Structure 1
């Protein structure tokens, strides 16, 4: 990649003298992902993939829903196994690939993946809800727009004891380069946290590792602005813990690798700031949200509708 078309053409020509290659030009459809130009922006869409997924599940005529996860229905242990666990695993595995362009599905799909070993009828109901949400958002994709800023910032969040099965927390983060979402994650933490501050601190450590890799890549490409990356967290205790060693006495039980974020803050590479819960975009990656709030966060993650092909 680069901004010099002549140099790129020269490189491709030299490669073609040694290797058998073919320049396919501007990407249109690649690995199930369609690229669409819309008002100067690039849309990444998996509409065909989603349509095929609904066909495989026999839900092409299902009734759409506004959110992929219910705020009232929790995942509880069930003793009634689903009659076709292979079908469940195939569909959930296919949904994992869909999250490449649909970060709004990350939390719901992550939750479904936790029951791949022994799905029950309740888990199948949760899977069908995700598919019904997909039915209503077939024309949605991830938008990438020109941005004058090359600053890196991220929103980090975690629920506390959100899983009713093992009381572990779910971490989530969304990393932006300028105005564009470039990396996101929704994942259950390995250990149970003794407080919400500890859960949020662990989530900050996860996004710090991702930040380090992204900044290194941007420097290699010559795109890094040199400004410290900014982390936004909605827990004051966690933000203080990143900068104040006095809190160490309260976190002796926290694993050493989670203190990685404190070293980054001390060196000036990261800045951890507080953001109110209502503005915390990573909420969509850690818990079910009501319809209006879910839609607002989805729009801010640049998951928007595009014209039908």
Structure 2
């Protein structure tokens, strides 16, 4: 692909001399992903794939829900193993592929995949809730629009000690290039954080590494960003640590992450700014949310129905 059609056609012609290839024209359906043309861009959709998942689960006629994750606390009853763990693993794996263009499912599907080894009836109920959410959002996909901007924006969020089993924290981020969401992650942190600032700083280190790779890739392709990427986080402590050269005693146990992010800021390769929690787009990747809040953030990360781009 490229902005110069003549150069693209010339490259395809040269490849045709060496390899047996066929030009299939504009993309329409590839690996279960449908490309729907909209004004100034494309909408990536997996509606057929989502319908197939619902058929496999026998939930084609299920009642849809507004969010994929319940805000109700987990019960304290003894866990009951699910009778068909193979079915659970199959459906959870299918949902994992769905997150390729449905970032709004990342948090919920990640939670499901952490129980592949021994799912319980409670986990099966969580999976069915995700499927009911999918049922109500079959028409949604990831929107990609043209833009003259070359700015890179990243939003980083975390959930401190969110897992009662091991009290490990979670981290999530969203990276936008030219107003389009190009990279997103939700994952459990490898070690237990002793403070919310530590958990946030580790999350900042993860997104900083991803930004470094993205800038390197764009530079190789000839699309160097005009300004350093901007990273927004909603933790003042972590924001101050990025700019303050004084190494506080309470952060010695996160020395590696500290120096990595701090050096990026000092070299002006990264800008870290504070953002209010209500404006933190990465919230959708780190925790369960209420219906209105979830719907609002879902739109902000460009998960939308096939309508013209604004």
Please give the TM-score of this superposition, normalised by the length of structure 1: 0.96
Instruction: Encode CA deviations 1:187-233: one digit per residue, 9 max, x unaligned.
Output: 00001111111111110000011101111111111112331100000
Which runs of 5 or more residues in structure 1 are unaligned? none
**Distance (whole Å) between structure 2 residues aligned to residue 257 and residue 155 of structure 1:** 17
Aligned to 1:85: 85
Task: Summarize the Cα distance change of 1:115–1:277 in structure 2 as closer, same or farther, 3 Å threshold.
Answer: same
Aligned to 1:216: 216
**Distance (whole Å) between structure 2 residues aligned to residue 257 and residue 196 of structure 1:** 14
**Distance (whole Å) between structure 2 residues aligned to residue 145 and residue 123 of structure 1:** 37
Q: Tell whether the 8 Å contact from 2:242 to 2:258 is kept in structure 1 after alignment.
A: no
Per the TM alignment, residue 17 of structure 1 is displaced from its structure 2 partner at its CA by: 0.5
- Computed over aligned residues only, the root mean square deviation of the Cα atoms, in angstroms, reads 1.4
Aligned to 2:35: 35
Matched, 1:112 2:125: no
Per the TM alignment, residue 277 of structure 1 is displaced from its structure 2 partner at its CA by: 0.2
**Distance (whole Å) between structure 1 residues aligned to residue 75 and residue 29 of structure 2:** 37
**Distance (whole Å) between structure 1 residues aligned to residue 137 and residue 156 of structure 2:** 26
Matched, 1:73 2:73: yes
Per the TM alignment, residue 74 of structure 1 is displaced from its structure 2 partner at its CA by: 3.5
In structure 2, the residue corresponding to 1:253 is in which secondary structure? helix
**Distance (whole Å) between structure 1 residues aligned to residue 247 and residue 126 of structure 2:** 40
In structure 2, the residue corresponding to 1:94 is in which secondary structure? helix
**Distance (whole Å) between structure 2 residues aligned to residue 259 and residue 75 of structure 1:** 41
**Distance (whole Å) between structure 2 residues aligned to residue 295 and residue 74 of structure 1:** 23
Q: Tell whether the 8 Å contact from 1:186 to 1:286 is kept in structure 2 after alignment.
A: yes
**Distance (whole Å) between structure 1 residues aligned to residue 105 and residue 195 of structure 2:** 27
Matched, 1:273 2:273: yes
In structure 2, the residue corresponding to 1:245 is in which secondary structure? coil
Please give the TM-score of this superposition, normalised by the length of structure 2: 0.96
Which runs of 5 or more residues in structure 2 are unaligned? none
Matched, 1:46 2:46: yes
Task: Summarize the Cα distance change of 1:93–1:109 in structure 2 as closer, same or farther, 3 Å threshold.
Answer: same
Of the structure 1 ranges 237-246 and 79-88, higher mean CA displacement relative to structure 2 is found in 237-246
Aligned to 1:14: 14
**Distance (whole Å) between structure 1 residues aligned to residue 179 and residue 43 of structure 2:** 14
**Distance (whole Å) between structure 2 residues aligned to residue 225 and residue 256 of structure 1:** 27
How many equivalent residue pairs? 307
Task: Summarize the Cα distance change of 1:264–1:154 in structure 2 as closer, same or farther, 3 Å threshold.
Answer: same
Q: Which runs of 4+ in 1 moved over 2 A?
A: 73-79
Q: Tell whether the 8 Å contact from 2:81 to 2:121 is kept in structure 1 after alignment.
A: yes
Q: Tell whether the 8 Å contact from 1:75 to 1:163 is kept in structure 2 after alignment.
A: no
Q: Which structure 2 residues correspond to residues 156-175 of structure 1 after superposition, within 5 A?
A: 156-175=156-175
